């Protein structure tokens, strides 16, 4: 069983704060690293799929970086808004078939 760790487990910030989360994954047999946003009572939705070491992806105020050699990825949210409140999941793939998910970081943004 592959070990994918996310930290922190939960985070409570004020509107306008910037924040970041970490995802650690095995540095061997890397295929892809996914980030998903999961709102309560909804399904997870993809934010980014990252495949190359040094990759940096951005979607609005959210961005992510990838270091496959040391096995970590960071997700950044700039100027958090209440609508950013959700659980953020990362998932590691060592091949096409399967994703191994971390336990997620639960973000709460207060107005």
Partner 1 sequence: NAGVTQTPKFQVLKTGQSMTLQCAQDMNHEYMSWYRQDPGMGLRLIHYSVGAGITDQGEVPNGYNVSRSTTEDFPLRLLSAAPSQTSVYFCASTGWGQNTEAFFGQGTRLTVV
Site residues for partner 1 per CB under 8 A = 1, 4, 31-32, 34, 36, 42-46, 49, 51, 89, 91, 96-104
- Indicate the residue among 41 and 111 with the shorter CB distance to partner 1: 41
Phi/psi region, residue 97 (left: phi>0; alpha: psi -120 to 50; beta: rest), is alpha
Measured CA to CA, the distance from residue 52 to residue 56 in angstroms comes to 9
For 28, residues 6+ apart whose C-beta sits below 8 A from its C-beta are: none
CB of 110 to partner 1, least distance (A): 23
CB of 44 to partner 1, least distance (A): 5
CB of 38 to partner 1, least distance (A): 9
């Amino acid at each position: 069983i592959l070990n994918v760790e996310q930290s922190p487990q939960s985070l409570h910030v004020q509107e306008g704060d910037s924040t970041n989360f970490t995802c650690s994954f095995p540095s061997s047999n890397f295929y892809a690293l996914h980030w998903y946003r999961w709102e309560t009572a909804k399904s997870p939705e993809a934010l980014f799929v990252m495949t190359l070491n040094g990759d940096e992806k951005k979607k609005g105020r959210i961005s992510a970086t990838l270091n496959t050699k040391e096995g970590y990825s960071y997700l950044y949210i700039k100027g958090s808004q209440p609508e950013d409140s959700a659980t953020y999941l990362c998932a590691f793939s060592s091949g096409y078939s399967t994703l191994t998910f971390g336990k997620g970081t639960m973000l709460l943004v207060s107005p």
